[in-house]
Amino acid sequence: MRLHTTCPTARRAWTVELRPGSGGPQLVCQQCDHRGVLLAAVSARSAALEHLAGHARRDALPSYLRTCQCHERGCRWHPRHRGCAGPVRLLLARERGGRLWRLADACTACASVTMQAAVVPETFLRTTVAAADGASRRRKRQPKGPGDQVRVREMLSYLAATLPGHTGAATRLLAVQCALRMNADGQVRLPIGVLHSLRLGRDLLPWTELEQARCLRRTPACPGSESGGTIAQILDGGLFAQHPARPDRRKAADWALRMATVGGVSAGDPALRLTALCLAAHTDFSVGHGCVEADRIAHECGFVPEALTLVLGRLATSLASWSVALDSGDLRWELPPGLV
């Protein structure tokens, strides 16, 4: 086994702490002199991610030199381990009840078992780099990038780490739509049709939950506006940074709406719709199967693991099969042939 104390590889892990201060909570960086009072309108995770992403950009490395920082530190950031595997991505983790935020390179295996953590969508760093050189506005939009499924999967992962654990399923479904549909100014307008598809109707609780989580703020509709729907300003900096390629994100949002009710999933139950969406986001559609740790799916849906089993039981008519392996904790499922 390799010792890591004198490891010459780059330390691509950065941490900020939230400390109480006389003028309000302060964001204190463990890498640089940064010490900033947290503004009331900005969530801790947004401020933390903004700052940490700056370090990640400045300490950029070619992907072949990036290593799993979790492994470098003996895999102490997660409870169990079956060896590092998969591509290295940036993982945002929340610790000590949100008093500590860490951004680090982590392999897919470590990332998937780290609680209170989410892979930061690749678009996040790319966007900020592009915006910094000042020329991005003149460039033609590149419709390339992750497909609908990857966008939605990354968004579910990101939201799982950033929304409070008790956030309800309907609120998570709404958050996915808002994050993917907002414009370059961080504003989102959800038309009546989307609200119907989300089965929100007059239910304001999901909006209130997102406001309490400081993700967004609803804004009154312009007088004379006939379109109806709901307008909101996104406050989350992490989501905000993904504004380019909006048509692609809207397409992914439409995909998410469809997948939440595909195969006759009961539209009235947001927990079923969110689980169906989450499974779709992790399904290998070339074969119609999926296999992911059950804990991860539960985390992305905001369920305790026992609740996931109950939901899967109720979702059974929309799945050809599903099972959880007792030894590995892997959830395997298969979609009905007509859906693949």
We find the least distance from the C-beta atom of residue 159 to Zn ion, in angstroms, to be 22
Query: Smallest distance from the beta carbon of 228 to Zn ion, in angstroms?
Result: 44
For residues 251 to 290, the per-residue mask of contacts with Zn ion, x marking binding by CB under 5 A and - elsewhere, is: ----------------------------------------
Residue 118 C-beta: closest distance to Zn ion, Å? 15
- CA 45 to the chain's CA centroid: 12
Candidates 25-33, 132-140, 163-171, 221-229 — which segment interacts with Zn ion by CB under 5 A? 25-33
Tell me how crowded residue 27 is: count the other CB atoms within 10 A of its CB: 22
Taking residues 26 to 65 in sequence order and writing x for each that binds Zn ion by CB under 5 A, - otherwise, the string is ---x-xx-x-------------------------------
Q: Using the minimum distance from each CB to Zn ion, give the nearer residue, 75 or 272.
A: 75
From first CA to last CA, the distance across the chain in angstroms is 44
Q: Tell me the closest approach of the beta carbon of residue 10 to Zn ion, in angstroms.
A: 16
**Three-state secondary structure along 31-90?**
CCCCEEECCCCCCHHHHHHHHHHHHHHHCCCCHHHCCCHHHHCCCCCCCCCCCCCCCEEE
Comparing CB distances to Zn ion, the nearer of 128 and 309 is 128
E strands present in 76-229: 88-95, 100-107, 117-119, 187-190, 216-219
Question: Are the C-beta atoms of 241 and 258 separated by less than 8 Å?
Answer: no
CA 210 – CA 121 distance, rounded (Å): 20
Binding mask 60-89 for Zn ion (x = CB under 5 A): --------x-xx---x--------x-----
Q: Is there binding between residue 110 and Zn ion (CB under 5 A)?
A: yes
Q: Is the Cα torsion angle 39, 172, 165, 124 positive or negative in sign?
A: negative
Which residues of this chain interact with Zn ion, rule CB under 5 A?
29, 31-32, 34, 68, 70-71, 75, 84, 107, 110
